[in-house]
Amino acid sequence: MNKNAVMALDAQYYLPVFARYPIVLERGEGPYVYDNEGKKYLDFLAGIAVNLLGHGHPGLVKAVAEQAGKLIHCSNLYYTEVQAKLVQKLAQRSGLERVFIANSGAEANEGAMKLARKYGKLQSESKVEIITAQHSFHGRTLATLTATAQEKYQKGYEPLPQGFSHVPFGDLTAMEAAVSAKTCAVLLEPIQGEGGVHVPPAGYLKAVRELCDKHGALLIFDEIQTGVGRTGTFFAYEQEGITPDIVTLAKGLAGGVPIGAFLAREEVAQAFHAGDHGSTFGGNPLACAAALAVMEAMEEEGLLDNANKLGQLLQDKLRQLAQKYPGVITTVRGRGLIVGAELAGQGRGIVEACLEKGVIINCTAGNVLRFVPPLNITAAHIEEVIAVLDGVLKEHGAF
């Protein structure tokens, strides 16, 4: 089918919930994707931080193909070796003793909040409040969009679930005022991704950890976007010298195969009993095999070091562009290979111009160019992106 035919089918039958760009992607190889007209694009969005190993990674392809030939799905009424191996690896990597495998980030966050509520009620029937940060993003189910303190995602879905409150991200004074005996958990992204790649002040997350301990509240880190090496360590929280009570993962964990997970301390996990939570597809052998392949590649290919080194190079290059175009880029921030370049105006036009020139990035929060490429990119790929962006900004001029 040609591009127009595909787009016409989508327009006729798909729910009108996506503002898609007018290309039809057909295949990928490494950090590149190709549309059905043969045009090549350098993919620095990676499925929104999902395609951790790029496209067509041999180890991932082999693991998925082999597992598909053996067993794709198995009910959680039974055991599988591949699931057991994955939860062992995640538990050992995190220092959190228990793991539940789901299908998405929203499901992982739902499960984490359910567990926090159940654990809180063991202490007091009133210990049910969950505190999140403004401009966060935790998912699109009713509970997770309530936790997502952005009105644009909540409008039209009222009444929203009760028991949530929101404070400014990085504001310790506001957090101290909000946490009380009724707080069962504080849920934070170590770096806000969808909210604009916001990095909290130094020491903030550690101070929140101490505050939660003081009030008997759980600390939950949403590492849907920052986890699995994106920031240069497997979990972003490792860089803060702390450990949460619960952490959630998804996106890059299986390199593109849908998966989610939440991990918890043993004491917290024991609040759940058989029948308290579940998932039909969660932890299926195909997704688990893909996740194991991703974790193996990360270890064997030095992807954490690469994310640190290449992330710093990307920020340095973007700051050079900010100096060259001071009326366009105002701030560059991030950690590892989650990087944001804040603009003085709206960014969609710049994203569209880059796409036309064969580079895929995106704009979040309206005015922040977001770069979340595969973790196995090279310096040459960064130079290619910067050259295209330089040309686009030159043509764009100041806002």
Residue closest to 382 by CA, chosen among 391, 373, 393 = 373
- Out of 127, 222, 234, 235, the active site residue is 222
DSSP string, 280-291: SSTT-HHHHHHH
Pairing of strands 129-133, 183-188: parallel
Query: What's the Cα-to-Cα distance from 83 to each of 60, 80, 86, rounded to whole Å?
Result: 16, 6, 5
User: In the annotation, is 137 catalytic?
Assistant: yes
3-state secondary structure of 68: helix
- Out of 137, 169, 234, 371, the active site residue is 137
Residue that has been written with the tokens 């929060």 in this structure: 365
- Out of 43, 127, 169, 251, the active site residue is 251
Let me know: does 56 contact 28? Beta carbons within 8 Å. yes
Query: What's the Cα-to-Cα distance from 323 to each of 101, 309, 319, 332, 336, rounded to whole Å?
Result: 45, 22, 6, 11, 21
Query: What's the Cα-to-Cα distance from 73 to each of 67, 77, 109, 281, 293, rounded to whole Å?
Result: 10, 12, 23, 7, 18
CA 243 from centroid of its chain's CA atoms? 18
Residues labelled as active-site residues: 137, 222, 251
